[in-house]
Structure 1
């Protein structure tokens, strides 16, 4: 099987709204006019309604009801708006996937995104927006496999669940490529910035292909902490097993080890998008 065999099934690919794609393509453009972005967001009714529902939730405790994206931007700032738009756009990109419980899948992705952003804000080598975005899409390749090669995806899941193979080995054995490779190819098809796709492709093994990229390292750390949270690991064990070499490659100081407790209790505000 080739990755292109998956991508040719255009009727099965996730349907990411144009405004989300445009926003991601402009993440690193310092001259972007965000008024253009907010106007585009306003024209996407599904995303607008979801964003406004989250903005008006108890989490933000605003003194009055917000009725427009422009108002939301003024009160929350463009960074928070971007976060909500990207999360909403991806979580609505598919409605049903055999073998995946979508609310759980996206809740997991949102947590990785928040953790990646948390790490990025503590290193000069990574942009927080980019870290958040790669967190959202870090598992998009697995979603693609279930959409376009459902039987093989289920077979991989069975091997992993029965401890017959790790996920990377199972994917290589049955597909000839990994879900991270597939995710990179899908992001290339969407014309996302190359560094985002590279981070998704290499985050599981950031040292495998020479000099590690800081963005891939931040994503690796986010996935590590997410696994710790999912498994309810004791905070002392989290620190003991923390991949310090990866943190150093990400540009983080040694003191990051003493801040991990804060990351482990990050809020789950984005999950309101899934309601």
Structure 2
């Protein structure tokens, strides 16, 4: 099987709003006119309503109710709003997927995105917004597989569950490629910045690449934290197996070990997008 077979089923592919694609493409442009983006967001009723509901949730604890995207920009700042627009648009691009718990899938993606930003903010090598975005979409290839080939995706999951083999090994056995490759191909098709696709491709094992991506490294560390949370790993054990070689690629010092407890306690504040 080849990756292109997943991408050829255009009627099944996620449909990300244009305003989200524009924001992602402009992440590396500090001079981007985000007020124009905010205006476009305001014209997308579904996106606007979902963001406003989240902004007005208890998590943000605003002093008064926000009733427009313009107000949201003032109350939250454009950077924070941008995060919510991207998250809301990506999550809303898929309504239901056979054999995949979407609520759990996006909940973990929100956490990985938040943890990736946490690590990026402590590195001089990685942009925090880029880290958040890659964290959010790091598993988009797996989602694509479930959308395009649900029975094959389930067979791979069964193989992992029954044998304990790695997902990558199970995917290579059944697909002859791994889903991060599919994720990169999908992002390329959407004309996202190449740096995002490269990070998605590398995020599982950045040390195995000749030119490892610091962006991929912070997402890999975020996935380590997410797995530790899921498995209820205690902080001492987490510090023992935390990949220092990956942390070095990410531009983090050994002092990061003292901050892993804080990373475990992170909250995305984006759960409302899952409803």
- CA RMSD of the aligned region, Å? 0.9
Q: How does 1:1-275 map to 2 (within 5 A)?
A: 1-163=1-163, 165-275=165-275
Distance 1:222 1:123 in 2: 14
Shift of 1:164: 5.2
Aligned length: 275
Shift of 1:63: 1.5
Shift of 1:47: 1.2
Shift of 1:254: 1.1
Distance 1:73 1:19 in 2: 16
Shift of 1:85: 0.7
Distance 1:44 1:120 in 2: 31
Distance 2:186 2:211 in 1: 24
5+ residue gaps in structure 1?
Answer: none
Distance 2:154 2:86 in 1: 28
Shift of 1:268: 3.5
Segments of 4+ in structure 1 off by > 4 A? Answer: none
TM-score for both structures, normalised by structure 1: 0.98
TM-score for both structures, normalised by structure 2: 0.98
SS of match in other structure, 2:163: coil
5+ residue gaps in structure 2?
Answer: none
Distance 2:141 2:267 in 1: 26
